[in-house]
Amino acid sequence: MLTITQRAAEAIAQSTANDKELNNLPLRISARKGALGKISYNMGFDELTNGDMLYESNGVKVLLDMKSQALVNGMTVDFTTSLKGTQPEFVFINPNAVNGGSCSCGDQEKSDGCESCEE
């Protein structure tokens, strides 16, 4: 379904290490199709709701709502510190996205020209 890389799992664990409330919540990843079929993403910690799919990847519990499940099938979430001029960030690599693009800002509409994501 969706893969969280080891680097992304470590970054997620580090971000919740000092917050017991967040540490107990799964990570919700939501995806929405925008203009021209391009996909944008949101991530945050949340509780399980009706219709959610809950599973685990590299020790990270992940929630997906019904609308997002098909959009992220086969996607990889990675974490990088190597993009020039940017802060460390999550990168969404999604074969379902237009042009198979990935954009670390989470906005597939910028994947073929996002200044913050160009290497």
pLDDT at 36 over 90: no
pLDDT at 4 over 80: yes
Domains, the chain, ordered by start: 2-110 (2.60.300.12)
| Higher-confidence position of 110 and 79 | 79
Interacting residues of 9 by C-beta distance below 8 A, sequence separation 6+: 57, 58, 59, 60
**Could you read off the pLDDT of 77-105 as tens digits, one per residue?**
999 887 666 678 899 999 888 755 455 45
Residue pair 49/60 in contact by the 8 Å Cβ criterion: no
